[in-house]
Structure 1
Amino acid sequence: MTDRSAKVREALRGGDPAAAMRELRLGGDEPDLAEAAPLVAEIAAAVGFDDLARAARALAGAPGGAGQLYAYGYACIERGVPFLAVPALTEALRLAAEPAPSRGLFGRARRQSTPEPRAILAELAVALEDEERHAEAVDVLERHQGILLDWPDRYLLAYNAVMAGDLDRARRTLDALPPAGSDWQSAADRLHRALDRAAVAAPAGGPGHQDLRAWHFVLTGGLLGTLSPYGFTAGMTGRYAYLGDSYDQCRHGLDRLRLILDAAGLRPRSVSLLPDRPSRALGLAAARLFGLPAEPYRQGTPDTLVVAYDLNGVDEALVPGLRTRAAGEVLYEHATCWTSPPPVSADVSTLLAQFVRAPWDAATRYVPGGEPVEEPADARPAEELAAEICAADPGPDAGDGDTPPDLDEALADFTRAVRGRWPAGPRDQVRSSGPVRSSRFD
């Protein structure tokens, strides 16, 4: 038994199948199929994923069959573990692409259960896309051009090229496609808008692969108010992994929002308050700082600033309305999760983080040489939290001193350069962090 198998089974014996699955992922490279399939069968059975358990057991019993590999890979994608699907579907595609076996006396092929290569290729591209391995998805689709359909296969090639940062390939591929049918027109429109934004975000060849603000605009249509002043050279490239947020950061974010609105020439006439306490607090602070009236959010209100602390925490019933922009409406989000993107992409985000502890959340404070101090949550009403934000220090965090500066002038210049394409179009959810890579917690 390998060390990985031992750790997986130890977690299963401890009644923690989620930890067992994490152990499979934490192994670094893709787990060997012969080793992984029996383990996946046990994990899937423990959580009641009977389809995945059956597919994993079938693969363990016949590890060389393309049909079993495909069924297992498909089930892995459906159950949210596409990293396990990639090696299985890669091998299934290799087997399915081999020359067909000779037919028997009665003309019956021996490999009746082998799926069509194109079906396997499509699922492999989906698995790679779900894992944000976009360059690999482009490569495998390019290597099998002969079996691709225009829609959706070559569209997926263009989409993954954008997400991999290869804008020239994406444009060539998209321009060569015939008109999309009704099923794919909205997807084609999204990709055209992204390429249009790229042309204004970095007209000379596209953004570099560390230009987080430009790529955030290309992918989401939104503007990024601040870049993390920590860990740039350690691989964060402007994002946060874990952020202990502060009232100062909230105030600084609102000041950056004001800078963006001024540079774009936008003048909201009101602030729309979302009902959750964090968003209401931030919205009240924005109204006070900007000298605007505050009112409850109502879908379709023109020329208003809609303020959210975290769009993942907003009432799901409000999401359809937030996706549709009223004339002159700007949607602002303070803390945007880049690993579990919100259902709506904001027009302005203060920052991108994986995990955020809000200023009013309970926290553990560590005192040098002393015991950790548990600080309770701040239960004050939104109005008092808003006053705290308004009174906070608006200056930026000095950071680690080893990160490029994030200057007001640079943000204003970028906003003026792209304002013809901002804010425009629906606020689509973007599930990938794109070509700018950042270190993350598992």
Structure 2
Amino acid sequence: MTETTHPELSTAWELFDSGDQRGAMRTLRLAADSIPPAELAPLVAKLAESSGFEDLRTSAAGLVARPDDATALYAFGYDCIERGVSALAVPALRASLDASQRQGRTPRKSGRWGRKPAPPDVAPRKVLVELAVALEDGERHAEAADVLSEHDTLTEDWPDGYLLAYNALMAGRVDQAARVFGALAAAPEQWQPAAERIARILARVATAAPEGDRDLRGWHFALTGGLLSTLSPYGFTSMTGRWAYLQDTRASCRLGLERLRTVLAATGRTPASVGLLPDRNSEVLGLAAAEVLGLPAEPYRPGAADVLVVAYDLNECDRQLVVGLRERVPGQVLFEHATCWTDPPAVSADVSTLLVQTVVAPWGERMRFTADGERDDVPADERPAEEVAAEIVTAEPRVDEGDGEAPADSAEALSALAERVREEWLTGPRDRARSSGPVRSGRFA
């Protein structure tokens, strides 16, 4: 283990030396902002080497050799982003931005006796954009908007101005986002999809302005175009209506179907049939939905119109099939019961019952403990899908009262929102939710 004065870094080294590489990286992510990048770099190099990430290993070693060099800091930060550890990139890129600006104010010198030109310095704007990307990756949107605003003399419209508008919007700063986006020059072809996406979000905000940074349902519609039909009634102060871990119930599934009925009635939508997706969880829920709504059920056929497509969890469905749901078909409605908000699916559902980080289906293998505290898990229910679906149909769609801290979650409030947005609902492609937005919730590390 390397000597260090930072307790978190010492812990990370101990975890690495014990063979717990994931634990070491998790510790580094959480402590990255409090440890100088060059002091992190030796352990990052070891982790990268053990994972076969030669690019990151090389740039980490380069940072060890040149701890204050703008280019070395930038290379390390860039590779951290590419390898999915943007938290480690942020402090390195902040330091690179400062160093690159200082270098820009220092006269450049040639090599000894003028034999070779000095190596080029990394451009401050280039560093700034990567810093904004790293902050955005970590959903640190307010920080991204602030650093771009602070250094606006370095920026151009694309992608810099777009990044400012997008991150301001994800931070809940709607006025700033609209002002910045409205002033941008026409988007180059490669940025056209991003421009269209942010335009759709701003249009939905104008239709149904979310009521502050605790309005999960309002912001969910603004960001995804979908309607969230229930809110978690537990730990509202920290979770704001989302779930972290949930062992789902048949009653929750039944409530979700009733809330789906509420949305369809409020928006005047009348699907002709239910499309059954091929995974077991979706098949069970789809059969129950067909019975509850009085619709015929048949295997889902891509491109079929006027179909209610039912998914239990889109992340558990065939990815190619899910990606094919991005572009809309007339009359088609995509319903997902359990939407993962920390790892959003490839498309956003038109209606989601709940937002959850980790979910166990009611008929899946379930964790249970005896009165003595011994683990005694319940095995998965392997009965035919029709039998399990019948139990959802007969379950009581009861609203969980929770711990008494959460605001009321009525069908009437959902219906009112659905009526208000009915013209904007089911328009445009089903974009993936790239951020949880202004409404923050606790999550597992």
Normalising by structure 2, what TM-score?
A: 0.95
Q: Distance in 2 between matches of 1:103 and 1:276?
A: 62
Measured after TM superposition, the shift of residue 319 of structure 1 is 2.4
Measured after TM superposition, the shift of residue 27 of structure 1 is 3.3
Change (3 A) 1:152 1:108: farther
Match of 2:317 among 311, 314, 322: 314
Question: 1:127-160: per-residue Cα shift (whole Å, max 9, x none)?
Answer: 0000000011101111111121111110111111
Match of 1:440 among 432, 439, 443: 443
RMSD across aligned C-alpha pairs, in angstroms?
A: 1.7
Q: Distance in 2 between matches of 1:164 and 1:364?
A: 37
Asked if the contact 1:336–1:352 (Cα under 8 Å) also holds between the matched residues in 2, the reply is yes
> Across the two proteins, how many residue pairs are aligned to each other?
438
Question: 1:391-425: per-residue Cα shift (whole Å, max 9, x none)?
Answer: 21211112111111101111111111111100111
Question: 1:264-321: per-residue Cα shift (whole Å, max 9, x none)?
Answer: 1111110001000000110000001100000111111111100000011111221232
Query: What is residue 397 of structure 1 aligned with on the other side?
Result: 400
Query: What is residue 181 of structure 1 aligned with on the other side?
Result: 188
Any idea what SS the aligned residue of 1:421 has? Answer: coil
Question: 1:299-355: per-residue Cα shift (whole Å, max 9, x none)?
Answer: 111111000000111112212321111101000000000000101100000000111
Residue 116 of structure 1 pairs with residue 119 of structure 2? no
Q: Which runs of 5+ in 2 are unaligned?
A: none
Query: What is residue 55 of structure 1 aligned with on the other side?
Result: 59
Q: Distance in 1 between matches of 2:270 and 2:319?
A: 28
Q: Distance in 1 between matches of 2:207 and 2:340?
A: 25
Residue 136 of structure 1 pairs with residue 143 of structure 2? yes
Asked if the contact 1:361–1:376 (Cα under 8 Å) also holds between the matched residues in 2, the reply is yes
Question: 1:205-231: per-residue Cα shift (whole Å, max 9, x none)?
Answer: x53100000000000010001000000
Q: Distance in 1 between matches of 2:29 and 2:194?
A: 31
Asked if the contact 1:38–1:60 (Cα under 8 Å) also holds between the matched residues in 2, the reply is yes
Name whichever of 351-360 and 107-116 sits farther off: 107-116
Q: Distance in 2 between matches of 1:77 and 1:400?
A: 40
Q: Percent identity between the aligned chains?
A: 56
Measured after TM superposition, the shift of residue 110 of structure 1 is 7.5
Any idea what SS the aligned residue of 1:272 has? Answer: strand
Measured after TM superposition, the shift of residue 29 of structure 1 is 4.3
* Aligned residue runs from structure 1 range 27-66, under 5 A: 27=31, 29-66=33-70
Name whichever of 27-36 and 271-280 sits farther off: 27-36
Asked if the contact 2:275–2:309 (Cα under 8 Å) also holds between the matched residues in 1, the reply is yes
Asked if the contact 1:270–1:294 (Cα under 8 Å) also holds between the matched residues in 2, the reply is yes
Name whichever of 4-13 and 104-113 sits farther off: 104-113
Residue 26 of structure 1 pairs with residue 30 of structure 2? yes
Q: Which runs of 5+ in 1 are unaligned?
A: none
Query: What is residue 336 of structure 2 aligned with on the other side?
Result: 333
Match of 1:89 among 85, 89, 93: 93
The code of the aligned residue for 2:337 comes to H
Any idea what SS the aligned residue of 2:353 has? Answer: strand
Asked if the contact 1:17–1:47 (Cα under 8 Å) also holds between the matched residues in 2, the reply is no
Match of 1:275 among 260, 274, 278: 278
Q: Distance in 2 between matches of 1:270 and 1:103?
A: 70
Name whichever of 369-378 and 25-34 sits farther off: 25-34
Question: 1:228-287: per-residue Cα shift (whole Å, max 9, x none)?
Answer: 000002x10000011111111111111111111111111111000100000011000000
Any idea what SS the aligned residue of 1:97 has? Answer: helix
Any idea what SS the aligned residue of 1:282 has? Answer: helix
Any idea what SS the aligned residue of 2:421 has? Answer: helix
Asked if the contact 1:125–1:140 (Cα under 8 Å) also holds between the matched residues in 2, the reply is yes
Q: Distance in 2 between matches of 1:407 and 1:130?
A: 34
Match of 2:202 among 189, 195, 200: 195
Any idea what SS the aligned residue of 1:306 has? Answer: strand
Residue 17 of structure 1 pairs with residue 21 of structure 2? yes
Measured after TM superposition, the shift of residue 5 of structure 1 is 2.8
Asked if the contact 1:229–1:238 (Cα under 8 Å) also holds between the matched residues in 2, the reply is yes
Match of 1:295 among 295, 298, 312: 298
Question: 1:164-189: per-residue Cα shift (whole Å, max 9, x none)?
Answer: 11110111111111222222222111
The code of the aligned residue for 1:393 comes to E
Any idea what SS the aligned residue of 1:339 has? Answer: coil
Change (3 A) 1:20 1:104: closer
Any idea what SS the aligned residue of 1:364 has? Answer: coil
Query: What is residue 257 of structure 1 aligned with on the other side?
Result: 260
Measured after TM superposition, the shift of residue 368 of structure 1 is 4.0
Any idea what SS the aligned residue of 1:351 has? Answer: strand
Name whichever of 262-271 and 19-28 sits farther off: 19-28
Q: Distance in 2 between matches of 1:306 and 1:163?
A: 29
Q: Distance in 1 between matches of 2:114 and 2:365?
A: 71
Residue 412 of structure 1 pairs with residue 419 of structure 2? no
Query: What is residue 101 of structure 1 aligned with on the other side?
Result: 106
